[in-house]
Every structure is written in structure tokens, then in C-alpha cells.
Amino acid sequence: MTTHTITIKINKRSVDFTEFARLCDSVSKCLRASERMVTHDTSPRIKYAVKELEAGSAKVVLEAQRINGQDVRKETLRHFRGTLSGLQNGRLDTRLDSQSLGQYRDLGSIAVNGSVTIGRLAISKAMYDSATVLAEKTFSSKGSVKGVLGSVTVHGRQVFYLYPPAGPNKVRCVFRKSILKDVRDALGEVVTVFGECKYRGLSVHPCLVTVGKICEPSSDDSLSTLHDVKTAGNWDTGSLSALEYVRLVRNG
């Protein structure tokens, strides 16, 4: 019978219990993140049981056990090991969502001194650095954001904040003086802002918009259209189907 196990070890003579507990908690979150990336579902299908715990050593062997639904243990552990190896060796896997990347980054921060091995892989600061690069990477594309326009500043750089109904609490928007009247007229109203959208890391929501124009929806245009969806964010789905990608965005 095939078993699905993962070995975690801190290679030091004296290991602080809190440090080991933090490591196990971080590994647990990364395993759950990999499962979510495989199944595109937040409902867990795997639990992890302690199979071996060596006396006098900070080493534990976990066995993946199926709970219900499709058996995804092999695929989940493969994704987990592949992500660890990829980040450790500087191969940035853009299939990770921002939440999952943060959890792998946290694991890297615990293992920065190179004393941790997971399976046969030694984890070092390189993994943390790779995850940090990916988390802080920015890019821009044409798009739009809908929300309530507020908090206008015209001293120095012209800036207002848009408060979307979903996603980030607010989005910073930079605009030129020529559309100041449009901004003032739309203050406190629900508008759609079109322009150059800047994204950080793997977020599907922009962190900054350089505004081209502002449109106030009419009563017949209050609901989102297919065009709104198309221009709402970065829709590069990588290897995922459209349905899988939408589920991933929905479930975080």
C-alpha cells in the first residue's frame, strides 16, 4: 500500500520548542495552501497524522491521510515539494496565489539560517528571498476599477481614493488637472475609473491607477457588464481554465 509522507527536521543539537512548533504550524499552512491550489477548493480533503517522532531530535514524519472526496494526496505533496524546490532555487511559480505565497514566504523566514530540511531539501534564506521578490514584483496594464470616489487631494500631486465594493479597502488613483472638475462632480458617487492599473505581487486587484477617464454609471448601467469583468484586473490564468481561475480568486 502506497503511503504519502513528508519529513520535517531542524538540524541543531538544541532546538527551542517554540521554534519547532512555529515550523510545524508553518508547514501545515503551506500543505493546506498546496492542497487548495490543487483542488481549487477550500474544503480540506487531507489530514496529516504524526507517523514518527524521534526521541532526542526535532524530527517528525507526517503521513497524509485522505478525509473525503477525490484522493489528491500525491498531487498535493508533489505541488508542496515542487514549490519548496522552485522557491529555494529561484524558480518563481506564478501559479501561486498571494495568500499561498505569503505562507511559503513565512516558512522561508523561519528557516533563514539553513538548519531546516523538509524531505531531502535544505531550506535556506534563498527561499525567503525568492518569495519576497515575487511578492514585491509589480506590473501594469490597462484596466478599470469601480467604487465610491472619495478623499481627494489637490496639493502637490492630484490624488483621490476609490473605495471598491470588494477587494482592497481603497485604491490610490492619480489624475491630471484637466479632469479635476470630473473628479469633484463625482465625489461621493459610484464611478468606474479607467486607466493604467498597477498590480503588486500576485494580487488581482490594482494598488494604483493612473486615471485616464471617469465614468458615472447610469441607472441602466449599475450592474457589472462583461466589459467590466474583462477590465477589472489581471486575467492571466496561466495553466488554469477560466472556471478554475474564477474559483481560485473567489476562494482566495
Write the DSSP assignment of 38-54 as a string of letters: HHS-SS--EEEEEEEE-
Question: 53 and 64: one domain?
Answer: yes
Question: Model confidence over 199-237: pLDDT tens digits?
Answer: 877 677 888 999 999 997 654 445 555 555 555 555 555
Cell matching residue 133: 521578490
Angle at 78 between CA 74 and CA 79, to 5 degrees: 120
How many beta carbons lie within 10 A of that of residue 169, not counting itself? 7
Range of the domain at 195: 138-233
Place of cell 512555529: 22
Length of the chain: 252
pLDDT at 53 over 60: yes
Q: In whole angstroms, give the CA distance from residue 245 to residue 251.
A: 10
Model pTM score: 0.62
Question: 42 and 101: one domain?
Answer: yes
Q: Is 170 helix (H, G, I), strand (E, B) or coil?
A: coil
Question: Model confidence over 175-199: pLDDT tens digits?
Answer: 999 999 999 999 999 999 999 998 8
Question: Model confidence over 64-95: pLDDT tens digits?
Answer: 999 988 899 999 999 999 999 998 888 766 56
Residue 171 lies in a domain: yes
Q: In whole angstroms, give the CA distance from residue 112 to residue 126.
A: 8
Quick one: what percent of the chain has pLDDT higher than 90?
A: 37
Cell matching residue 208: 494604483
* Beta pairing class for 208-215 and 171-174: parallel
Count Cα atoms within 13 angstroms, Cβ side, for 96.
28
Residue 252 lies in a domain: no
> What are the φ/ψ torsions at residue 60 (nearest 5 degrees)?
-140, 140
Residue 73 lies in a domain: yes
Average pLDDT of the chain, as a whole number: 82
Q: In whole angstroms, give the CA distance from residue 135 to residue 133.
A: 6
Question: 21 and 49: one domain?
Answer: yes
Question: 17 and 123: one domain?
Answer: yes
DSSP states of 174-206: E--GGGHHHHHHTTTSEEEEEEEEEEETT-SS-
How many beta carbons lie within 10 A of that of residue 76, not counting itself? 23
Question: 218 and 183: one domain?
Answer: yes
Which CATH number is 170's domain given?
A: 2.40.50.140
Domain count, the chain: 2
Question: 183 and 211: one domain?
Answer: yes
Helix locations, 89-173, DSSP H: 98-110, 125-136
Cell matching residue 99: 495568500
Residue 165 lies in a domain: yes
Q: In whole angstroms, give the CA distance from residue 76 to residue 65.
A: 12
Cα distances (angstroms) measured from residue 249 to each of 92, 123, 173, 246: 20, 29, 23, 5
